[in-house]
């Protein structure tokens, strides 16, 4: 094979190669999450005061487990979008809207793809912040059991060593990752996304049903956030920071990639170009006929002109 042809072939392949594809982004974020979660990146450990009541609570478990949270954040949006689009819009409406993906399924998966990238990015940012801040959880003393806290009173301990061997190393290390709350961030992201979607995509005839659905969805954030405080898993400021972070990421996802779920209604482009060429000739003939009709109406009949001349001559003689 000629060397120039080989170079052109390689160049065309590199030209077709796309680095920032959804699959590549998913894989990149998942790898980073795994690195952060399993302790490959060194974690920051801030100190604590002995007998601090804010970190002296007992570990009570999770009312909303991480598995239930992930399932809720992944399934609720896709179920809501499928039901809303199927009930409120016909299949033909996606062919007559400029900017639409072309079908119901393509449009829903396009929005869900943007949602997935946003929530994975949010999870990554939350884990980075947890690792960099290293704030003790409310049940830190009960879970970590630091050796330096055994014989001290109201002293500040900067460096410590956890002595808990009953639980896994990951669980003990997680007791120093309180800020921000991942549950509140992810649930707020999902809630804001769905509430905005319902506001934009549900027709005006559902004015009574729409606010009730939005309130029900908002309960997802309320339950996930308040239970984190009740379970002694987060401080109130951790939950507040997670809510603000999730709201900001969701707004960014809705406004930029999803375009506020806005679809402009226009005539289908394929229908415009599929019209027969003879239509232009027909329109031209119609315009020509209209012009002839106008000219014919403006022309004065010869008999009428003679009568006008006779009238003028008679008036002149008088």
pLDDT band at 71 (very low <50, low <70, confident <90, very high): very high
What separation in angstroms does the CA of 170 have from each of 39, 43, 44, 157, 174? Answer: 8, 12, 14, 22, 6
Residue 249 host element (H or E): helix 236-255
pLDDT at 271: 39
Taking residues 284-297, report their average pLDDT: 57
pLDDT in tens, 160-190: 999 998 888 889 999 999 999 999 999 999 9
* First-to-last C-alpha distance (Å) of the chain: 106
Taking residues 131-136, report their average pLDDT: 92
Q: Any idea of the CA torsion for 85, 89, 95, 99, to the nearest 10 degrees?
A: -60
Taking residues 6-12, report their average pLDDT: 55
Nearest to 108 by CA among 137, 130, 85, 131: 85
pLDDT at 218: 97
pLDDT exceeds 60 at position 16: no
Nearest to 76 by CA among 273, 183, 217, 266: 217
3-state SS class at 299: coil
pLDDT exceeds 90 at position 83: yes
What separation in angstroms does the CA of 139 have from each of 93, 149, 177, 179? Answer: 54, 14, 11, 13
Q: Which of 30-34, 90-94, 237-241 is least confident?
A: 30-34
More confident residue, 193 or 268: 193
Taking residues 276-282, report their average pLDDT: 46
Q: Report pTM.
A: 0.75
Taking residues 206-215, report their average pLDDT: 92
Q: How high is the mean pLDDT of the chain?
A: 80
Taking residues 80-97, report their average pLDDT: 83
């Amino acid at each position: 094979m000629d060397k120039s042809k080989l170079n052109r072939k390689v160049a065309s392949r590199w030209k077709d190669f796309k680095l920032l594809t959804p699959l590549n982004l998913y894989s990149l974020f998942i790898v980073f999450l795994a690195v952060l979660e399993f302790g490959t990146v060194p974690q920051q450990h801030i100190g604590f005061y002995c007998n601090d009541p804010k970190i002296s609570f007992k570990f009570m478990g999770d009312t909303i487990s991480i598995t239930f949270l992930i399932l809720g954040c992944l399934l609720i949006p896709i179920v809501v979008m499928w039901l809303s689009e199927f009930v409120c819009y016909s299949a033909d409406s996606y062919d007559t809207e400029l900017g639409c993906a072309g079908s119901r399924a393509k449009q829903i998966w396009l929005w869900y793809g943007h949602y997935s990238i946003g929530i994975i990015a949010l999870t990554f940012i939350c884990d980075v912040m947890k690792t960099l801040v290293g704030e003790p959880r409310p049940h830190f003393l009960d879970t970590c059991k630091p050796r330096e806290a055994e014989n001290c009173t109201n002293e500040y301990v900067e460096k410590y060593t956890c002595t808990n061997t009953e639980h896994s190393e990951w669980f003990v290390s997680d007791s120093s990752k309180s800020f921000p709350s991942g549950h509140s961030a992810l649930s707020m992201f999902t809630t804001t996304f769905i509430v905005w979607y319902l506001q934009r995509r549900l027709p005006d005839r559902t004015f009574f049903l729409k606010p009730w659905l939005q309130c029900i969805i908002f309960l997802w954030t309320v339950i996930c956030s308040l239970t984190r405080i009740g379970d002694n898993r987060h401080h109130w400021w951790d939950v507040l920071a997670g809510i603000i972070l999730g709201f900001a990421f969701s707004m960014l996802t809705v406004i930029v990639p999803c375009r506020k779920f806005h679809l402009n209604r226009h005539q289908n482009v394929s229908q415009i170009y599929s019209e027969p060429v003879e239509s232009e000739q027909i329109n031209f003939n119609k315009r020509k006929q209209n012009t002839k009709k106008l000219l014919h109406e403006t022309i004065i009949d010869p008999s009428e002109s003679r009568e006008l001349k006779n009238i003028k001559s008679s008036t002149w003689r008088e």
